[in-house]
Amino acid sequence: MTTLKTILELPYMKDIQPLYPISNASKITVKNIAILEAPIENFVRKGEIVVSTALSVRDHEDTLFHFIQEIQSAGASALILAFPDNSYEILESISTHFQSLDFPILLAPWSLHFADIVENTLREIWAQSEENHVHMEELQKQLLNCYLQDGTYSDAACIISSFFQCDTIIADTNLTVKGSSQPILQQDFANLLLNKENELTRIDIEAFDKSFGYIILYSLPDTIDLQSLQENICEYCNNAITLWFTREWSLTSIKMKSQEDFVWKIAHHEYDDTNELMSRAKAMHFQTDCHYVCIVGSPVLEKDLRAGHTELSFQAKAQLQSSTTILQEQIIHMTHSMGLSVMTTYQNQYLIIYLQRDTDEDNYTFVKHYLDSLESHLHTSLPNLAFLWGFDSQKSGFDMLHKSFSNAKEALKLCKELKPSDYRCCYQFSLIKKIDSILCSNKEIMKTVHSILRPIIEYDRAKNSDLLLTLEYYCENNYNVSETARAQHLHRQSLLYRLEKIENLCNLSLKNHEHLYLLDTCVQLYRNF
């Protein structure tokens, strides 16, 4: 890494003097040098020393100030000016401003050739770049040798630490410590992330459109250039560190294979003997004295789903082929962090999840929230994948898990056909979905739906109100006034006024069960179809 301090110490710079003292020359990175004149426009590159005579702007203080300001704002490392007769009095009135910004302005004798400045500076930058390249290749070589000699994550972290003179932690996408240059407990690492995040440099470990984890550096020397550091880590360390993750996941994949096959056989009812089923489950360390709900997912590329395609493309199949272990590890890790047991497998383009569920809470809502968390969790490591889901919200014991899978798979099939907005379908509600689908395909019925809701829709347009949304919330909250008012952030009396307005507009009573059912059905068909 070439710094301004290095450039200023070169022999040819002895005749070039700073306009004012430069306090941070050792922290300013120099990547290039160029000769420029006004107008600057977008020709200045970040980390560049600009050499100029300021020919068209040097006679007026305002234009000169604007010229220098453009160069400084563009991220230049320094500005070298050369004026005829070495007359720099015009700079005195504007120097204070740029000194306060720690922007170096240097003054060169008019007799000094710009070509000599550029040539000598570039020669030093190239020499430093080559030296850095050799140094970083040695780092990469040591990491590869460490891997080939069965070194640990901590061994790799120590190598990186010694090269950059800082503490190093290697973590996976769940921010679980895999290795570190200094012993650190998981809880201490969590506290470090929470309390000193601004002091950490986190660099993604990525390859083949997948995120493997992070290299986290802290206690860095004050003189280090963070941008160059990140570039060097990405170029010379990234691929080497992925080897450790790939090896670990390969071993995990072999270990998980027998468990996956067992889950697949459960789903397809390949065990006629209950005793054999329980015995094998215990051998696999699966919990058998609890109930499970079944969730079946169908992965698809996010861009394909946005285009309306719900089947797995060839590109998605290829991507998933190398990601199934990551996928299942993430599911297991997240579910265990919730204190729940889980059995999962991905085969024949079905992602099967048996999720522990032993409470009397609403399973439908629980599964919805679980899928929200899961999708958010998976997006970190598999950002290009989306999922369609079918699930059976009824709890099942081990002997009925095959039936639960059959129900969830049927719900997934319906999800692909109907394409609901959240790409999820529950088997217990699939009958309602099918009825709605049949009704919405009938033009006469849909005409009636629009006719019934038209007064509310027209009123909302005319008054810029949201009565239809209020009615939707009222139906979603089981016709409970208090819950609806809370959901819409309304005072109870305001909600009652709105409901009365809806009744008057539609000439229907919300206290009449048939009228209420009619309005509920109309809202569902109008919103979803």
Q: Which of the residue ranges 240-254, 310-324, 466-480 would you say has the lowest mean pLDDT?
A: 310-324
For residue 160, the model assigns a pLDDT of: 92
Tokens of 44: 């200045």
- Selected from 1.10.1060, 3.40.50, 1.20.58, 3.30.70, the CATH number assigned to the domain covering 269-426 reads 3.30.70
- Under a CB-based contact definition with an 8 Å cutoff, are residues 500 and 489 in contact? no
**Higher pLDDT among residues 412 and 529, named by residue:** 412
**What angle do helix axes 274-283 and 238-267 make, rounded to 10 degrees?**
160
Give mean pLDDT, residues 328-342.
86
Q: What does 476-526 look like in DSSP terms, one character per residue?
A: HTTT-HHHHHHHTT--HHHHHHHHHHHHHHHT--TTSHHHHHHHHHHHHHH
For residue 430, the model assigns a pLDDT of: 67
Rounded alpha-carbon distances, angstroms, from residue 207 to 317, 443, 444:
18, 51, 55
What gap in Å lies between CA 493 and CA 464, rounded to an integer? 20
Cis amide linkage into residue 39, ω under 30° from 0: yes
Select from 161, 163, 192, 160 the least CA-distant residue to 175: 192
Per-residue pLDDT reduced to its tens digit, 84-126:
887 888 898 899 999 999 999 999 999 888 998 899 889 888 8
- Selected from 1.10.10.2840, 3.10.180.10, 3.30.420.40, 1.10.3430.10, the CATH number assigned to the domain covering 442-528 reads 1.10.10.2840
**Higher pLDDT among residues 526 and 470, named by residue:** 470
Domain map (residue ranges) of the chain:
4-123, 150-236, 269-426, 442-528
Q: Is the pTM of this model over 0.85?
A: no
Query: Is 466 a residue whose pLDDT tops 80?
Result: yes
Domain topology for 4-123: 3.40.1390
Burial of 184: CB neighbours in 10 Å, binned 0-12, 13-18, 19+: middle
Instruction: Tell me if the domain spanning 150-236 has CATH number 3.30.450.40.
Output: yes
Select from 169, 138, 353, 168 the least CA-distant residue to 267: 353
